[in-house]
Every structure is written in C-alpha cells, then in structure tokens.
C-alpha cells in the first residue's frame, strides 16, 4: 500500500527540492491512481496562482503545454527540464507516461508563476530595526525574546535583537556574557553573533562569554548541540567552514577575538554558568582574570599594581558575597594586599 505524501512533500517534489527517495515514493503514488495526479495538479495550481500571470504569460503557458503534449507522440525517450525540476518519460511505457505528461505541464505552471506567487505573498522588504538591551556592571537581568527564548545577561553586557524575528531565522548579537535558553524551532535556527564568532542552534541552552576587554570568546553548552564558527569573511568563505566546531552538553569551545579557533574541552560546566544563579566562581584563574571579573560583578575599577602578581592563580566560590569579603579571601589566598577606596580596588604586594 502506497503511503500518501504530505502536501509539503508534494510541494518539494514540484519545486525539485525533495530527496531521491521522496521522488520515487511520490512517483509510485502517482502511478497508482488518476486522482493522485489531480491532487498534484491542484497543489501546483495553488502554488502557481494563475491570477498572477499576465494575459500574455497565460498564452505562453498554454502554448508550452500543447508542445509538451506533442512529445508523447515522439518515439524513444524524451527529457524536459523545468526551472528546477527534471522529468523524464518513455513514450512506450503505458504505466507512467500518462501522468508524466501531466507532470511536465505542471512544471511549466511552476516555472511561469511560482516565483511571482512568492514575490506577491512575501512581506515588503525593509531593514530590520534592532532593539538594544544594556545591563550595567554590577547588575544581572533576564530578557524574554519574541519566540519565547530566554536570555540571562551578566553585568556589563549588551544584547541586540529584533522586536520580531524573520520567517527563516532568529538572529541576535551579544557583547558581554549571556546564557541562552532557546525555544526549539527546526525551521528557524537561532544565531548569535559574538565577537568574531557565529553560534548556531535549533533549540538548546548554552552560555557565551565575549567581553570586549578579554582576548577570547567561550561557548559552553548546558543542553543540546550547537555549532560555533568564525564569522564568515566575504573574501574567504571556505576558511569559515573549516573553522567550525560542534559541541554538545558539558562541552565548551574557545575562539580568539579575531575568530581563530583555540581549543575545546569537556567536563561539568556548572562553574562556567554559576553566575546566572548569583555565584561568583574562580576556577584556576589568574589575578589578572579575577580583576576583570570583579569589575563586571561589582562595578568597580580594579588594578593589579605589580605585574608579577598578575599570574598568581586562585580557585574559589562565592555566593551573594559582598566585595569586602571577596577581597579579603583573595588577599589571604594569594598572599597579597589591597586597597578599596571610592570604588577603586588596587592589588599590590604585602609590605
């Protein structure tokens, strides 16, 4: 028993975008019953939208139909190429020649008017206006996008996003750090531009850290799978594809600020996304890195007065801790001193 194709499959068949397997399936279905051909013709008519053709165009379509019908009388194998779809039939075959003749006529309808149909129904072309959401240092915020996706933004971050996404994709731009919980939609990928990287997903949750004052972009996945790549350069699209990497749950990838792939790793990423729960976590970070984190977390200016101290490393975790408490732990753990006046922190050697 033949499986009845869906309307979507039949549309792809008419436009020549279906797989070989789908093509054979539909052609077997067409062979089974003249009513099936009528169904295909109905869909083609709806796609073609005859009213969109000019009178001259209609006459051209009719003439081309008559010419194609005459092909049935020619011996041997004839081949018709439409705008997208190719049909072939053997005029000596009684089993399939009759419907392939009709299919050939449908190609003419599609070729002549489907482009006009889509142009007629497409929304007017206009430049997309992006909204800008800023989160200052020392703050964190949560934003819900038009598709239902949720974005948690860390301090010192900015998200650029449209009020409404387009029909084919969901695209945003990030400066800073954000955790995305993306609503699944296989028809509209979710794309995040951050630094010189492009992260593409269909529906998952992941974290991107891309502060302008840091030398790398890091993408970490909590659930699902994402594709990360360097931002494409018009002069070298092949290079763009070679620098792409796929990461899944509890994996991360790092790129340089210029978009060069650095490395990838795996493990429990809870420490990398702890910030959205209000936890400040240092995992084998240098004092120079810690200084940048403190600036975004507490909205202060932090200076490491002695370059020899910048490479000292620390692992620690703080939950809703005030700045004085954090500074005290850092100074004791790294055997250094500090001053904290007028929102300016300076780390220096013990006297």
Q: What SS3 class is residue 2?
A: coil
Question: Is the distance from CB of 193 to CB of 174 less than 8 angstroms?
Answer: yes
pTM: predicted TM-score of the whole model, two decimal places: 0.61
What CA–CA distance (Å, rounded) separates 177 from 273?
10
What CA–CA distance (Å, rounded) separates 137 from 300?
8
Question: Is the distance from CB of 347 to CB of 288 less than 8 angstroms?
Answer: no
List where CATH 3.55.50.30 sits in the chain.
278-349
What CA–CA distance (Å, rounded) separates 349 from 340?
15
For domain 278-349, is the CATH number 3.55.50.30?
Answer: yes
Question: Is the distance from CB of 153 to CB of 276 less than 8 angstroms?
Answer: no
What CA–CA distance (Å, rounded) separates 5 from 24?
11
Question: Is the distance from CB of 178 to CB of 157 less than 8 angstroms?
Answer: yes
Q: What SS3 class is residue 115?
A: helix
What CA–CA distance (Å, rounded) separates 194 from 177?
9
Question: Is the distance from CB of 298 to CB of 327 less than 8 angstroms?
Answer: no
Distances (CA, A) of 247 to 104, 133, 175, 200, 222: 45, 28, 21, 11, 10
List where CATH 2.60.120.1440 sits in the chain.
130-266
Return the residue matching tokens 């890091």: 218
Domain 130-266 fold is Jelly Rolls (2.60.120)
What CA–CA distance (Å, rounded) separates 67 from 104?
10
Q: For residue 87, what pLDDT is reported? A: 36
Q: What is the pLDDT along the chain (351 residues), one digit of tens a residue?
A: 445 677 777 776 776 666 777 777 887 787 777 777 777 777 776 655 443 444 554 455 455 545 544 554 444 433 333 333 333 334 344 444 444 545 544 544 444 444 344 444 444 444 678 999 999 999 999 999 999 999 999 999 999 999 999 989 999 999 999 999 999 998 999 999 998 899 999 889 999 999 988 889 999 999 999 999 988 654 343 444 446 899 999 999 999 888 889 999 998 898 899 999 999 999 899 999 999 999 999 999 999 999 899 999 999 999 999 999 999 999 999 999 999 999 999 999 987
């Amino acid at each position: 028993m033949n499986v009845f194709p869906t309307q979507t499959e039949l549309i792809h068949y008419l436009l020549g975008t279906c797989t070989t397997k789908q093509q054979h399936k539909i052609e077997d279905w067409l062979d089974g019953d003249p009513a099936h051909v009528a169904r295909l013709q109905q869909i083609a008519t709806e796609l073609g939208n005859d009213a969109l053709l000019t009178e001259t165009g209609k006459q051209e379509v009719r003439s081309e139909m008559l010419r194609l019908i005459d092909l049935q009388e020619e011996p041997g194998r004839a081949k018709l190429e439409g705008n997208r779809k190719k049909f072939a039939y053997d005029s000596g075959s009684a089993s399939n020649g009759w419907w392939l003749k009709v299919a050939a006529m449908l190609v003419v309808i599609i070729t002549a008017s489907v482009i006009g149909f889509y142009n007629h129904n497409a929304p007017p072309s206009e430049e997309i206006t992006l909204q800008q959401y800023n989160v200052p240092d020392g703050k964190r915020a949560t934003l819900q996008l038009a598709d239902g996706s949720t974005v948690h933004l860390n301090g010192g971050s900015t998200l650029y996003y449209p009020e409404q996404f387009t029909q084919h994709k969901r695209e945003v731009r990030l400066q800073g750090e954000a955790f995305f919980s993306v609503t699944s939609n296989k028809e509209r990928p979710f794309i995040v531009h951050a630094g010189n990287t492009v992260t593409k997903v269909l529906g998952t949750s992941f974290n991107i850290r891309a502060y302008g004052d840091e030398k790398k972009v890091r993408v970490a996945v909590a659930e699902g799978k994402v594709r990360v790549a360097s931002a494409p350069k018009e002069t070298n699209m092949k290079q763009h594809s070679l620098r792409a990497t796929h990461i899944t749950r509890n994996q991360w990838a790092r790129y340089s600020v210029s978009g060069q792939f650095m490395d990838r790793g795996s493990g429990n990423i809870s420490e990398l996304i702890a910030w959205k729960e209000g936890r400040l976590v240092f995992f084998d970070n240098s004092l120079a890195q810690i200084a940048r984190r403190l600036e975004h977390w507490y909205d202060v200016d932090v200076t490491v007065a002695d370059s020899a101290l910048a490479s000292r490393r620390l692992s620690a975790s703080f939950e809703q801790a005030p700045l004085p408490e954090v500074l005290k732990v850092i100074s004791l753990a790294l055997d250094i001193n500090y001053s904290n006046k007028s929102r300016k922190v300076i780390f220096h050697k013990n006297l």
